[in-house]
């Protein structure tokens, strides 16, 4: 048991390159590396053949692609010595900052009507916009007494709060409200600690209160049966006409058709989406791409070089640790 | 002398409405208001006729439009009792936050390749992007030891620093470098005070050092003969291929042709522009609108409702103060 299977490429000019940082860790490990030889997804057969090799003790894979999908077939194919399947998507903690950055950026873009601004310039309409006191105006995070709402309040929303408070009003500070799956017994203490940590009022509320009170509503909850479609027609109908919605969680938490209707009718002011139901199969005729008050990004959340290098490091270090029989750095227990 | 001339409209549904906040201040002043009766720019003749009225003691105008341009003809037409011409563009201090918000937003957008991301989704290319470790990756403000450079370091850049530091690395903090028109005698003390204020190293450097060292270069200087075209071919040639340029000052500080060449050849990573030489007369075939690594916004800098309400208030309060013979709140001495 002396081999590690690597699907991301180790060839420097490959589009699938794992990065020089992770590559140097792998190469310094002393283990033999079996590397996907092509600059594209390997065949499923190649993957299953390699993991059956009894010398392969760990595998670094990209499980978002079909060839590397960890399903029953995959598990049945694994040789009995294989101790660890390490996926590149593992990101416990390392991607919080990158996603929090995109969150705040989308909040600013949506409040300040940047989608409309970009479209207007590209359509050649800038010369026809006469200057007037409130032309092209949007809303501000500095608005006195702003209410910022989070659907879900784990680590990423908390990293977003650290950033948002650099933009908010100092004399009339914002209030933060959030929902979580259930009210805890010591909820008052939890919220008092949050309030103390950031120096602004923070409290858990019910979903309807969140919808009706938030000026800025940020979706950062897990996707599960209880959160799928949670932002639907009823939810959007409770929101203020001046409010915005930002989704940096998973597409299906927000109902796309209902959001389109709410944006088109002016029920809410705008939306900024890093994720969208059906992604990446979004065609140019998708209705949300044709609204000036909606911004759609191609899931850039964790996409900065430093973060991806950390994800790559975690992926390969987990594989190496398991080969050595040492504890993993991040683990999903099966 | 009992009348104030108002060019911005006071009609609530007008696109030129001055805002309910400033309107209530004007209406509570007790002075007679002469208001541009149409929902568009008044004729030059109308403006010159009104300011010749000896009862008009102050004028609130929008001097970015030809009808209200304060030139020799305008001054010659003023009646001898006219004490104050208050322009809506007056913003001493009140627009710092709004421009700082847009600055940080453009930095994040440019680092994270948001222009490319938006274009890619609209062109229908999202389905063709296979996931790979560094696909769609950009740079991060959290990069260890990042160098942030400012061309000009007045109030707005300082408000931007307050915000940027919420995104930067805590264990390996950024360095801030800036240029100013001249080195002061007590430069070391000034920089030591900046360093103390923000807890990161800050110092004035020469222009060539700024160009060659900055990872993030933010243009926020005045436009004058010494800064026109200061970001030109020579300047851009010194910048790093991973660096970005953000211009939130005035278009002509950056040479558009040279910037286009630098973006196209990959000499710099990307640019985010809120201003552009020739604005607002930018046609859809402008070369900078056709680069995935360039974002162009239609001068949204001060465009949030709270800021514009403050600008409107300052404009009308100045007019009222002068009618009463009291000191102005913000003044350009003639």
DSSP for A158-169 reads HHHHHHHTTTS-
**Res A9 pLDDT > 80:** no
Q: How many CB atoms lie within 10 A of CB A243?
A: 24
Q: How many helices (H) and strands (E) does chain A have?
A: 11, 11
Asked if B121 is an interface residue toward chain A (Cβ–Cβ < 8 A), one would say yes
Asked if A170 is an interface residue toward chain B (Cβ–Cβ < 8 A), one would say no
Mean pLDDT, residues A7-31 taken together: 82
Residue B88 confidence (pLDDT): 81
Choose between A9 and A313: higher pLDDT: A313
> Which residues of chain B from 22 to 41 reach within 8 Å of chain A, CB to CB?
40-41
Asked if A117 is an interface residue toward chain B (Cβ–Cβ < 8 A), one would say yes
Asked if A131 is an interface residue toward chain B (Cβ–Cβ < 8 A), one would say yes
Residues facing residue B81 across a β-bridge: none
Q: Is the N-terminal amide bond of B226 cis, ω within 30° of 0? A: no
Q: Are B312 and B10 in contact (CB under 8 A)?
A: no
Q: From the CA of B7, how many Å to the nearest CA of chain A?
A: 10
Lowest mean pLDDT among A36-40, A114-118, B198-202: A36-40
Subunit contact B130:A282, Cβ cutoff 8 A:
no
> pLDDT tens, A230-273?
999 999 999 999 999 999 999 999 999 999 999 999 999 999 99
Nearest CA in chain A to B286: A122
Return the structure tokens found at B98.
């709004």
The backbone torsions φ and ψ at residue B55, rounded to the nearest 5 degrees and listed phi first, read -80, -15
Return the structure tokens found at A129.
């916009």
Return the structure tokens found at A324.
């050595």
User: Strands across the sheet with A56-61, in order?
Assistant: A32-35, A3-6, A56-61, A84-87
Q: Which long-range contacts (CB under 8 A, 24 or more apart) does B134-138 make?
A: B134/A17, B134/A19, B134/A305, B134/A308, B135/A15, B135/A303, B136/A298, B136/A299, B136/A300, B136/A303, B137/A303, B137/A304, B137/A305, B137/A308, B137/B113, B138/A300, B138/A303, B138/A304, B138/A305, B138/B111, B138/B112, B138/B113
Q: In terms of Cα–Cα distance, which of A106, A97, A101, A96 is closest to A216?
A: A106
Q: Is the N-terminal amide bond of B221 cis, ω within 30° of 0? A: no
> pLDDT tens, A41-55?
899 999 999 999 999
Subunit contact A303:B88, Cβ cutoff 8 A:
no
Confidence band, pLDDT 50/70/90 cuts, at residue A132? confident
- DSSP of B121-155: HHTT-GGG----TTTT-B--TTSTT-EEEEES-SH
Q: Go through B15-51 and write b for each residue having 16 or more CB atoms within 10 A of its CB, e for each that does not.
A: ebbbbeebbebbeebebeebbbeeeebbebebbeebb
For residues B61 and B99, what is the distance between their CA atoms, to the nearest angstrom? 22
> Which residues of chain B from 206 to 225 reach within 8 Å of chain A, CB to CB?
none
**Res A89 pLDDT > 90:** no
Domains of chain B: 3-93+304-323 (3.40.50.720), 96-296 (3.40.50.720)
| Alpha-carbon dihedral B34, B35, B41, B44, rounded to 10 degrees | -10
> pLDDT tens, B135-186?
899 999 999 999 999 999 999 999 999 999 999 999 999 999 999 988 899 9
Q: Is B176 helix (H, G, I), strand (E, B) or coil?
A: strand
Residue B246 confidence (pLDDT): 98
Out of B101, B113, B140, whose CB is closest to A98? B140
Q: Is B246 helix (H, G, I), strand (E, B) or coil?
A: strand
Lowest mean pLDDT among A86-90, B59-63, B67-71: A86-90
Choose between B38 and A219: higher pLDDT: A219
Out of A62, A101, A141, whose CB is closest to B167? A101
Tell me which chain A residues have a C-beta less than 8 angstroms from the C-beta of B16: 132-133
Subunit contact B296:A105, Cβ cutoff 8 A:
no
Subunit contact B114:A279, Cβ cutoff 8 A:
no
For residues A249 and A279, what is the distance between their CA atoms, to the nearest angstrom? 13
Asked if B136 is an interface residue toward chain A (Cβ–Cβ < 8 A), one would say yes
Q: Are A246 and A107 in contact (CB under 8 A)?
A: yes
Q: How many CB pairs under 8 A join A and B?
A: 227
Tell me which chain B residues have a C-beta less than 8 angstroms from the C-beta of A124: 282-284
Highest mean pLDDT range out of A4-8, A96-100, B83-87?
A96-100
**Res B334 pLDDT > 60:** no
Residues 6 or more apart from A131 whose CB is under 8 A from it?
B62, B64, B65
Residues 6 or more apart from B290 whose CB is under 8 A from it?
none
Subunit contact A62:B304, Cβ cutoff 8 A:
no
Helices B305-323 & B20-27, crossing angle to 10 degrees?
Answer: 20
> pLDDT tens, A301-333?
888 999 989 888 999 999 999 999 998 877 665
Mean pLDDT, residues B19-34 taken together: 91
Q: Catalytic residue at B143? A: no
For residues B103 and B81, what is the distance between their CA atoms, to the nearest angstrom? 42
For residues A78 and A5, what is the distance between their CA atoms, to the nearest angstrom? 12
Subunit contact B109:A104, Cβ cutoff 8 A:
no
Q: From the CA of B157, how many Å to the nearest CA of chain A?
A: 14
For residues B268 and B247, what is the distance between their CA atoms, to the nearest angstrom? 14
Q: From the CA of A141, how many Å to the nearest CA of chain B?
A: 9
Confidence band, pLDDT 50/70/90 cuts, at residue A90? low
**Res B90 pLDDT > 60:** no
**Res A19 pLDDT > 80:** yes
**Res A14 pLDDT > 80:** no
Highest mean pLDDT range out of A191-200, B9-18, B80-89?
A191-200
For residues B111 and A71, what is the distance between their CA atoms, to the nearest angstrom? 37
**Res B91 pLDDT > 80:** no
Residue B182 confidence (pLDDT): 86
Interface probe, candidates B160, B304, B314, chain A, greatest A C-beta count within 10 A? B304
Asked if B111 is an interface residue toward chain A (Cβ–Cβ < 8 A), one would say yes
Subunit contact A114:B162, Cβ cutoff 8 A:
no
Question: CA distances (Å), A321 to each of A8, A9, B86, B133, B222, in order?
Answer: 19, 20, 70, 21, 56
Tell me which chain A residues have a C-beta less than 8 angstroms from the C-beta of B167: 101, 104, 163
Percent of residues in chain B assigned helix, strand, coil, to nearest 5: 35, 15, 50
Q: From the CA of A167, how many Å to the nearest CA of chain B?
A: 6
Mean pLDDT, residues A105-111 taken together: 98
Question: CA distances (Å), A25 to each of A9, A321, B272, in order?
Answer: 14, 12, 36
Q: From the CA of B333, how many Å to the nearest CA of chain A?
A: 24
Residue A327 confidence (pLDDT): 87
Residue B188 confidence (pLDDT): 96
Residue A154 confidence (pLDDT): 94
Asked if B170 is an interface residue toward chain A (Cβ–Cβ < 8 A), one would say no
Asked if B120 is an interface residue toward chain A (Cβ–Cβ < 8 A), one would say yes
For residues B193 and B190, what is the distance between their CA atoms, to the nearest angstrom? 5
Confidence band, pLDDT 50/70/90 cuts, at residue B11? low
Q: What's chain B's average pLDDT?
A: 93
Please identify which of the residues B17, B143, B260, B299 carries the catalytic annotation: B299
Residues 6 or more apart from B333 whose CB is under 8 A from it?
none
Distance of CA B163 to the CA centre of its chain: 16
**Res A81 pLDDT > 90:** yes
Residue B333 confidence (pLDDT): 59
For residues A139 and A145, what is the distance between their CA atoms, to the nearest angstrom? 13
Mean pLDDT, residues A131-156 taken together: 94
Residue B12 confidence (pLDDT): 62
Lowest mean pLDDT among A175-179, A267-271, A306-310, B203-207: A306-310
Tell me which chain A residues have a C-beta less than 8 angstroms from the C-beta of B166: 162-163, 165-166
Q: Which H or E run includes B86?
A: strand B84-87
Q: How many CB atoms lie within 10 A of CB B312?
A: 26
Residues 6 or more apart from B38 whose CB is under 8 A from it?
none
Sign, Cα dihedral of B96, B118, B211, B260: negative
Q: Go through B82-94 and write b for each residue having 16 or more CB atoms within 10 A of its CB, e for each that does not.
A: bbbbbbbebbeeb
Helices (H), A18-153: 20-27, 44-52, 72-77, 96-111, 114-122
Mean pLDDT, residues B297-317 taken together: 91
What's the alpha-carbon Rg for chain B, to the nearest Å? 23
Out of B104, B126, B307, whose CB is closest to A140? B307
């Amino acid at each position: 048991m002396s081999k590690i299977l690597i699907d991301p490429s180790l060839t420097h000019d490959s589009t699938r390159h794992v990065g020089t940082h992770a590559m140097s860790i792998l190469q310094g490990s002393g283990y033999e590396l079996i590397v996907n030889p092509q600059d594209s997804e390997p065949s499923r057969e190649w993957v299953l053949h390699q993991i059956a090799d009894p010398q392969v003790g760990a595998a670094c894979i990209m499980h978002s692609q079909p060839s590397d999908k960890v399903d029953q077939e995959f598990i049945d194919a694994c040789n009995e010595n294989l101790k660890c399947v390490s996926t590149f998507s593992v990101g416990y903690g390392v991607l919080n900052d990158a996603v929090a950055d995109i969150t705040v950026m989308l909040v600013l873009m949506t409040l300040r009507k940047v989608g409309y601004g970009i479209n207007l310039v590209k359509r050649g309409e800038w010369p026809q916009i006469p200057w007037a006191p409130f032309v092209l105006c949007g809303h501000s995070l500095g608005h006195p007494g702003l209410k910022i709402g989070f659907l879900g309040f784990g680590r990423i929303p908390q990293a977003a709060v650290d950033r948002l408070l650099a933009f908010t009003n100092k004399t009339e500070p914002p209030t933060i409200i959030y929902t979580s799956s259930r009210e805890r017994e010591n909820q008052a203490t939890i919220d008092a600690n949050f309030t103390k940590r950031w120096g602004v009022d923070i409290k858990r509320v019910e979903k309807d209160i969140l919808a009706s009170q938030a000026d800025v509503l940020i979706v950062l909850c897990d996707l599960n049966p209880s959160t799928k479609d949670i932002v639907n027609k009823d939810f959007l109908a409770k929101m203020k006409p001046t409010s915005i919605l930002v989704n940096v969680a998973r597409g299906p938490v927000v109902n796309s058709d209902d959001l389109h209707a709410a944006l088109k009718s002016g029920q809410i002011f705008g939306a900024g989406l890093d994720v969208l139901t059906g992604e990446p199969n979004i065609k140019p005729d998708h209705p949300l791409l044709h609204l000036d008050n909606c911004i759609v990004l191609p899931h850039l959340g964790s996409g900065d070089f430093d973060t991806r290098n950390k994800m790559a490091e975690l992926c390969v270090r987990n594989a190496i640790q398991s080969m050595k029989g040492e504890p993993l750095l991040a683990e999903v227990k099966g």
